[in-house]
Structure 1
């Protein structure tokens, strides 16, 4: 709602915006003592309207950012114009001049100038749809956001496996401590307690009894007023309350593990409610969550593993268990509720409080990255989860795009520094596959030769040659040393139109080669030769000269023929009469 001291349009009055969002979160913007109140009144009214569901300002964070942009603009206008402006007084220079002012104050790479102008233009465009009196020149100016650069943007990167392991270990330690404290140690001590007004205050159990009776609100100051400072220090509620009420550190550890294991956006995870688990079935459960950025489709569900304490569903069940006393006291359905050191029952994590606890978490557990404390940003957890999925699936987009369009998934979650090596390796693998295809001969078994003889029209599909080019390959007219050749003057190792320049045994690694049963004796004779060379050649040199062709013969060629064909070819290869490997057409037909 928009509150002013005097709602009469002609009265300037004091200006204050108080907005309660649909989830009961409230934000206050106070422009009571700011300049340019005529303009701020109009901007504030439209800003408040935009906070209704589906109107574009869906969270306190967005409201505060847009309010700050408006306020900075108003202060600049006051310093440059010196008079009160209304919306219908605005001219393009009022926007362009403010943008120039921002760009002078911020580094060239900063996105702040663009973001501030974008906020203001967004509100003015809303006003322009409501006949607010904006001048024709200003309406033309609103057709674009900014004439300047947006500013550089460095995408958030995923955390390395080493850092993730540190985070998991530290968070799991905190969770285990919290579960033991809140389900065993605390209830055991509470069961020993009695009303301290009757049994005395000089007992941890009795003070804990009072803390529980007051639903966590009993503080050290209240205890000191009753029994004095010394006794209050000895049995301080700040030390005892965590035995029955979770702390922010307890829930932060659960939130951290849940985001790492589920990939849910942290802003959505922070707003989960106590009834978020739906439809448990065969080790899985659906988590219902609110994603405010998806205008018109804010409510979503995510299917996650359930059951074990390490599963996303199990982590939420632990959170439900240990927060039950706080939820009972507050009556709120928010999931992440805890007791602060001051005895205040908090109804959830704000972005600021979560960041504060993150810094404490890193410091307490001494988490380091290259000798420096880990820069723990919860906004990077989803990137970390997505990067892990990307690596496991080998970049398969169908498994990676959950919750996003393919374009967004690729641009924001796949195109990050930590996945660069994977992408480079994928390119290298692709090139290697292409090279392997180019270096793989075609092996025709006797059955396949017979089929092509009967159906020459299939030659293009099988060999990449026309029916007219097939007979020379099958008859031996195109034979070389170890194979037939589809095109001796179009070699992948040479220049088109010139004879193939490589040695004869390179045929076994050439896509032009066609190997039939007719060439099997020559190939096995050559195999005998390179095996003999192995005994008298250094291993590294032999591997460089013959290793690849040796593999091709044994793994790609010989297994394609029957045992009978191989035995016959082997007998011929081992004949006392040496084989002559020169091609028929080079012997003049002899």
Structure 2
């Protein structure tokens, strides 16, 4: 069985049933595994996961099931359903908390048994059929979500990647130019770099053949010895020379990290979507490029266009800032990958293709972010870039999603255009930047509402009311002279208070007559409580006292707590003589609380 790794290599994982006491059971599961792989395109990782599930379960059967040699999916004895349940129960103990692997292993084994049960000529015990049709009994696990890169870290990543792109372009351009000046080393010498580059560029000699003709460590001339890194052991001298030669003509794995960073930053796409691109996924236009992105995990295909500048280079070899031009980046990758693809006869040309020497053989493979000594962390160390938090390329994708969220002002339907809204909320909305922004928005909205609605009224005594006519009083209170005249004449009297502008209520839209007067006047910054409002204030206070007896404390505090506090403070500002006079006025004139009909309905409910 053959599976494909992330860098395009073919692997053939195998399993020998004779390694287990339950060889017959292992053979049955292995047969389903092989047929499953033949009927579907399995990655090397998926194929290995199936093999791991079979191996672990068969080891469990050997250790815990009596008469394991007789175990079979088609026989009721020994009871494999019980063995499966017990194995599933013990799986999480072998992995870290929140690991997704136990559920994945149990799921793979369930797929194989279900597949066998669906075959008409392959018997499966009834207990196993019931197990396969039930719940797995394991949760999928939960991992700690990664936070996005800070803006400063992302800026440094892109800056270093852009500088590396310029260096790579210059290096390979020099290498091909030097190779053009070389000749066949068999006739013109194996000690000249130009001749060796000519041999590799024209595929005239293999790297193994070149290694056989290279001078030994002690006979190696200075031009060749200079390209060997300091500290290299003599037995690795030829390999280092070959590695240097190949890197003068083709990109290596560490180089492609820079292009992955730039293309992810330019497109906002994930590492998986970017590194899987081929020439068939790209369509160049006069001022744009259209790219078909494929996300294998989500089984989605998205077509997206990116505009480009008319003059991509602008005549500058070293522009001041990185130019995240998607068309220019994809074109540069195609130019780097095409010679390798032709040499390896790979069609269509993958954008992320690299060459390596291992140990003396030139190997052409797809980019892999997990290659030993050539991971993202190695790229950061090589370029002297440090970032806060985990070193994970997925954080760059999340940085792009945060920027998109800010650009679209939080409209999830627009932000989640390349996946589901549920995925955005589960994997991206938790980011620090979005949490801080959301917190600031909420705090600002609350502060504005509190400032507008809960600052309460301005309470004026008789002396303060008389001083309204004095110069400067209007500016001190934020009123115009016309508003002061209207206040003193009672034209703005709302009952429990006077209002400087009933059409600018914090509880309604500007231009709309206040919808909550006078029940919320004691919570409004527009209210001015004059001495003439004291009788209505007292009546309103009595009404709230009665209402407090009819509502639960929690409900009363939520609805009328702030009004109760403000009205009590307004009454305390009056003298005992003023309160007594107001009470007498209420009794003698038969005054009642002036509330609209809707307020009475609310109070009675």
TM-score by length of 1: 0.67
Q: Would the aligned equivalents of 2:405 and 2:415 in 1 still touch at CA under 8 Å?
A: yes
In structure 1, the residue corresponding to 2:296 is in which secondary structure?
Answer: coil
Gaps of 5+ in 1: 1-16, 442-473, 495-499, 507-584
The residue number in structure 1 matching 2:384 is: 366
Superposition pairs of residues 83-162 of structure 1, within 5 angstroms: 83-89=69-75, 91-131=80-120, 132-162=122-152
Deviations 1:444-485 (Å, cap 9, x if unpaired)? xxxxxxxxxxxxxxxxxxxxxxxxxxxxxx976637263457
Q: In structure 2, how many angstroms separate the alpha carbons of the residues matched to 1:241 and 1:488?
A: 82
Closer, same or farther in 2 for the Cα pair 1:37/1:344, shift >3 Å?
A: farther
Q: Does 1:378 align with 2:393?
A: yes
Structure 1 pair 49/360, CA: closer, same or farther in 2 (3 Å)? Answer: same
1:326 aligns with 2:328: no
- Report SS of the residue matched to 1:353: coil
Q: Which residue of 1 aligns with 2:175?
A: 186
Contact preservation (8 Å) 1:224, 1:231: no
Check if 1:249 corresponds to 2:258: no
Which runs of structure 2 are paired with 1:14-413 in the superposition (5 Å)?
Answer: 17-19=1-3, 26-32=10-16, 34-35=19-20, 36-51=22-37, 58-81=42-65, 82-89=68-75, 91-131=80-120, 132-183=122-173, 185-214=174-203, 217-219=206-208, 222-229=210-217, 230-231=219-220, 234=225, 236-278=241-283, 280=285, 282=287, 284-295=288-299, 297=300, 299-307=301-309, 308=312, 310-332=324-346, 333-342=349-358, 343-353=361-371, 356-369=374-387, 375-413=390-428
State the Cα distance separating 1:335 from its structure 2 match: 2.2
- CA gap of 1:85–1:350, structure 2 versus 1, over 3 A, is farther
2:289·2:326 contact (CA, 8 Å) conserved in 1?
A: no
Unaligned runs of 5+ in 2: 228-240, 313-322, 457-489, 503-513, 531-584, 590-605
**Distance in 1, Cα, partners of 2:387 & 2:6:** 40
What does residue 569 of structure 1 align with?
Answer: none
Contact map agreement 1:438 1:492 (CA 8 A) in 2: no
Pairing of 1:481-560 with structure 2 (within 5 A): 482-483=500-501, 489-491=518-520, 493=522, 504=528
Query: Corresponding residue for 2:552?
Result: none
Q: How far apart, in 2, do the equivalents of 1:152 and 1:44 lie?
A: 30
SS at match of 2:278: coil
- In structure 2, what is the Cα distance between the partners aligned to 1:422 and 1:212? 54
Aligned in 2, Cα 1:405/1:426: closer, same or farther, shift over 3 Å?
A: same
Residue 395 of structure 1 deviates from its aligned partner by 1.6
Task: Tell me the secondary structure at the aligned position of residue 287 of structure 1.
Answer: strand
What's the secondary structure of 2:428's corresponding residue?
helix
> In structure 2, do the counterparts of structure 1 residues 330 and 483 end up closer, same or farther at CA, with 3 Å as the change threshold?
closer
- Structure 2 vs 1, CA of residues 337 and 47 (structure 1 numbering), >3 Å: closer, same or farther? same
CA distance in 2, matches of 1:239, 1:73: 48
TM-fit CA distance, 1:317:
0.9
Q: Do the aligned partners of 2:15 and 2:30 also contact (CA within 8 Å) in 1?
A: no
Task: Give 1:257 deviation, angstroms.
Answer: 1.5
Contact in 1 for aligned 2:61/2:83 (Cα 8 Å)? yes
Give the distance between the partners of 1:27 and 1:117, measured in 2 at CA.
Answer: 23
Aligned residues: 447
Q: Which residue is 1:468 aligned to?
A: none
C-alpha contact 1:482 1:505 (8 A) present in aligned 2: no
Q: CA offsets per residue over residues 396-421 of structure 1, 9 Å max, x none?
A: 22331122122222222223345321
SS of 1:290's partner is strand
Note if contact 1:252-1:354 (Cα within 8 Å) is conserved in structure 2.
no
For 2:368 and 2:306, locate their aligned partners in 1 and report how far apart those are by CA, in whole Å.
24
> SS at 1:415's partner residue?
coil
Q: TM-score scaled to structure 2, two decimals? A: 0.65
Root-mean-square deviation over aligned CA pairs = 3.7
Aligned partners of 2:283 and 2:291 also within 8 Å? yes
Contact 2:265/2:324 (<8 A) preserved: no
Distance 2:110 2:214 in 1: 58
